[in-house]
A and B are shown apart, each in its own frame.
Chain A
Amino acid sequence: MTAPDTHRAIDAVWRIESARLIAGLARMVGDVGVAEDLAQDALVAALERWPETGVPDRPGAWLMATAKHRAIDHFRRTKRVAEKHLELGHELEARQETAVPDLDAAIDDHVGDDLLRLMFTACHPVLSTEARVALTLRLLGGLTTEEIARAFLVPPATVAQRIVRAKRTLAEAKVPFEVPRGAELVDRLSSVLEVLYLVFNEGYSATAGDDWMRPALCEDALRLGRILAGLVPLEPEVHGLVALMEIQASRSKARVGPSGEPILLLDQNRARWDHLLIRRGLEALAKAEALGGGSGPYALQAAIAACHARARTPAETDWGRIAALYEALARIMPSPVVELNRAVAVSMALGPAAGLERVDALTSEPLLKAYHLLPAVRGATEVADSRREASVEVRAAGAGARRGDRRRARATGAGATPPG
């Protein structure tokens, strides 16, 4: 293998291993910042060694063993040497005594819990939303600062600073590396879900000519969502979010024309929808519903997306069900955008007159004032499915054009917008 080949292989290994490496180290040292430094040290060691020795058979175990040695060095240098050193030393010895495959198994035993702790820590409410996003992509997604910067169209220094501050904030607030329990779990989980959906939407809103990193965010969000669903399989909203993202992602190829122009949902060539992702999305939705979570905000939005996904032609769309789902969504996430979508669905189901009543009631909504599609919706039902494009407009109009503002708008009301 040539050196560039090895570097690419190391990159791939890092992509696979970094999250659980950092998660495992964070459990040992109790600080995600230190854990990431140790993991990076192990990566640097791999970059030095592997071009000569080749990639070891069990690269993950190699990185973990190397990082643990660094961890011991780290504790030697710090005051807490005595107890932690002993603890780590014993653990390391115990693991070295067993055969190599068992080392993997030993790490795997903890890996699920550790990853979950890492997700909750990276999305901790003491951090700003932007910091949560950056930290999640960095620690769990295995993205570099540079990649995150490219994906979010901000200078790398900005992202680097966000991450530095986030780690400092976590350390200063003495945020424990743990999975929250009871009532706190619900709130904290919704913070994690919000971060994943933000990342997904950032990727989904990428346009022609954007850097390749931007649409790739959809894959990162989906991957992390699937991991989370495996870690907390009994939480219906996680499956709801995964379902929503899988089904939305299934349309990514069909929703842009040859010259980059958006194609509205009802005009899309359904043969270009990704049926593998649709199948996965419908399965995830079924799980959410089987767990009694069919009425959560993500599951409801996924159910709406599923109505479109199930229809082989636009004419087969079950608008009655979509209208009912929007009604349910409006109850838990009241928003003019949801109301408008509901009006569109009602007009598709029962005819324009029924929908118009609702649309007229909405024309006085300040959030929808600058909504260029409202008159169009009012005038005809043709634009019934311009919701995603519409939602982008609402975000921009309702909260100003700056990215941060738009993101806040998305996190509040506009998050309820259904997929296009």
Chain B
Amino acid sequence: MRFMTLYKSGRESDTPPSPEEMAKVGRLIEEMTRAGVLLSTDGLQPSSKGARVRISEGKLSVVDGPFAETKELISGYAIVEARSKEHAIELTKRFLEVMGEGESEVRLMHEAPAFDSASPPQTGEAKERRKAAPAGR
């Protein structure tokens, strides 16, 4: 299952992160990439360098940045391949711990399934494993 996490730092990203922060994030990214779960990630530059393009009632409009509502500004994204929503959440927690501040939205990507198979298990896997453990020894 593929998830996109959208990170909102809660502030404009015009102050570049400190070398220490960069190193910490870099280490986590490397670790998650090596673990094979992180497919793609990047940070976003200040909204002053971007724009909003909108269509409403058929009319297109373009508003250049910066945008006022800093709380809602996306500072970066990651695409991870996880086994479950909980798995994606766990990975996101580790990212946020490194960032120290902010919020991440974890969203399941709309990958059309290759097959119309039964859904992934939702509950009690660990319990099953506990029961299964002696059998597996």
Residues of the B chain whose Cβ atoms lie less than 8 Å from the Cβ of A163: 136-137
Known: A227-B36, A276-B79. A15 touches B136 (CB 8 A): no
Which residues 100-133 of B sit at the A interface, judged by CB distance below 8 A? 111-130, 132-133
Residues of the A chain whose Cβ atoms lie less than 8 Å from the Cβ of B31: 108
Interface assignment of B71: CB less than 8 Å from any CB of chain A: no
Residues of the B chain whose Cβ atoms lie less than 8 Å from the Cβ of A230: 33-34
Q: Distance in Å from the Cβ of A257 to the closest Cβ of chain B? A: 11
Across the interface, do B126 and A223 meet the contact criterion of CB distance under 8 Å? no
Known: A7-B123, A146-B128, A253-B111. A12 touches B87 (CB 8 A): yes
Across the interface, do B129 and A144 meet the contact criterion of CB distance under 8 Å? yes
Across the interface, do B40 and A276 meet the contact criterion of CB distance under 8 Å? yes
Known: A8-B125, A224-B36, A253-B111. A164 touches B136 (CB 8 A): yes
Which residues 54-108 of B sit at the A interface, judged by CB distance below 8 A? 79, 81-84, 86-87, 89-91, 97
Q: Distance in Å from the Cβ of B14 to the closest Cβ of chain A? A: 29
Residues of the A chain whose Cβ atoms lie less than 8 Å from the Cβ of B135: 145, 156-157, 160
Across the interface, do A280 and B39 meet the contact criterion of CB distance under 8 Å? yes
Interface size class of B (residues with CB under 8 A): 35 or more
Q: Distance in Å from the Cβ of A206 to the closest Cβ of chain B? A: 7
CA distance A16 to B132 in the complex (A): 19
Cβ-defined partner of B126 (8 Å) among A43, A145, A211, A260: A43
Residues of the B chain whose Cβ atoms lie less than 8 Å from the Cβ of A11: 84, 86-87, 125-126, 129
Q: Distance in Å from the Cβ of A259 to the closest Cβ of chain B? A: 10
Cβ-defined partner of B137 (8 Å) among A33, A211, A223: A33
CA distance A89 to B113 in the complex (A): 49
CA distance A381 to B79 in the complex (A): 40
Contact stretch, chosen from A214-222, A293-301, A321-329, A349-357: A214-222
Pair count A-B, CB < 8 A? 143
Across the interface, do B127 and A47 meet the contact criterion of CB distance under 8 Å? yes
Interface size class of A (residues with CB under 8 A): 35 or more
Interface assignment of B37: CB less than 8 Å from any CB of chain A: yes
Interface assignment of A212: CB less than 8 Å from any CB of chain B: yes
Across the interface, do A145 and B132 meet the contact criterion of CB distance under 8 Å? yes
CA distance A226 to B118 in the complex (A): 27
Nearest to A233 among chain B residues (CB) is B34
Interface assignment of A44: CB less than 8 Å from any CB of chain B: yes
Interface assignment of B35: CB less than 8 Å from any CB of chain A: yes
Which residues 110-143 of A sit at the B interface, judged by CB distance below 8 A? 138
Which residues 32-54 of B sit at the A interface, judged by CB distance below 8 A? 33-37, 39-40
Cβ-defined partner of A37 (8 Å) among B119, B129, B137: B137
Q: Distance in Å from the Cβ of A373 to the closest Cβ of chain B? A: 23
Interface assignment of A264: CB less than 8 Å from any CB of chain B: no
Residues of the A chain whose Cβ atoms lie less than 8 Å from the Cβ of B137: 33, 36-37, 40, 163-164, 167
Across the interface, do A12 and B132 meet the contact criterion of CB distance under 8 Å? no
Cβ-defined partner of A16 (8 Å) among B90, B115, B129: B90
Interface assignment of A4: CB less than 8 Å from any CB of chain B: yes
Dominant SS among interface residues on chain A: helix
CA distance A230 to B81 in the complex (A): 17
Known: A146-B128, A164-B136. A225 touches B36 (CB 8 A): yes
Q: Distance in Å from the Cβ of B112 to the closest Cβ of chain A? A: 6
Known: A43-B130, A223-B81, A276-B39. A212 touches B119 (CB 8 A): yes
Nearest to A163 among chain B residues (CB) is B136
Across the interface, do B115 and A256 meet the contact criterion of CB distance under 8 Å? yes
Across the interface, do B132 and A15 meet the contact criterion of CB distance under 8 Å? no
Interface assignment of A374: CB less than 8 Å from any CB of chain B: no
Residues of the A chain whose Cβ atoms lie less than 8 Å from the Cβ of B119: 212
Across the interface, do A7 and B124 meet the contact criterion of CB distance under 8 Å? yes
Residues of the A chain whose Cβ atoms lie less than 8 Å from the Cβ of B129: 11, 14, 40, 43, 144, 146
Cβ-defined partner of B34 (8 Å) among A167, A207, A227, A253: A227
Across the interface, do A16 and B35 meet the contact criterion of CB distance under 8 Å? yes
Across the interface, do A7 and B114 meet the contact criterion of CB distance under 8 Å? no
Nearest to B124 among chain A residues (CB) is A7
Residues of the A chain whose Cβ atoms lie less than 8 Å from the Cβ of B126: 7-8, 10-11, 14, 43, 47
Across the interface, do B116 and A44 meet the contact criterion of CB distance under 8 Å? no
Across the interface, do B115 and A210 meet the contact criterion of CB distance under 8 Å? yes
CA distance A164 to B136 in the complex (A): 6
Residues of the B chain whose Cβ atoms lie less than 8 Å from the Cβ of A44: 130, 133
Across the interface, do A215 and B114 meet the contact criterion of CB distance under 8 Å? yes
Residues of the B chain whose Cβ atoms lie less than 8 Å from the Cβ of A280: 39
Sample 15 A-B pairs with CB under 8 A, ordered by A number.
Answer: A4-B124, A10-B126, A11-B86, A12-B87, A16-B91, A144-B125, A145-B132, A145-B135, A146-B129, A164-B137, A209-B115, A225-B36, A226-B34, A231-B34, A256-B114
Chain B residues engaging chain A, CB cutoff 8 angstroms: 31, 33-37, 39-40, 79, 81-84, 86-87, 89-91, 97, 111-130, 132-133, 135-137
Q: Which 3 A-B pairs have the closest CB atoms?
A: A226-B36, A223-B36, A230-B34
Known: A8-B86, A12-B87, A146-B132. 8 other contacts (CB 8 A): A7-B126, A11-B86, A11-B87, A12-B90, A16-B35, A43-B133, A222-B36, A230-B34
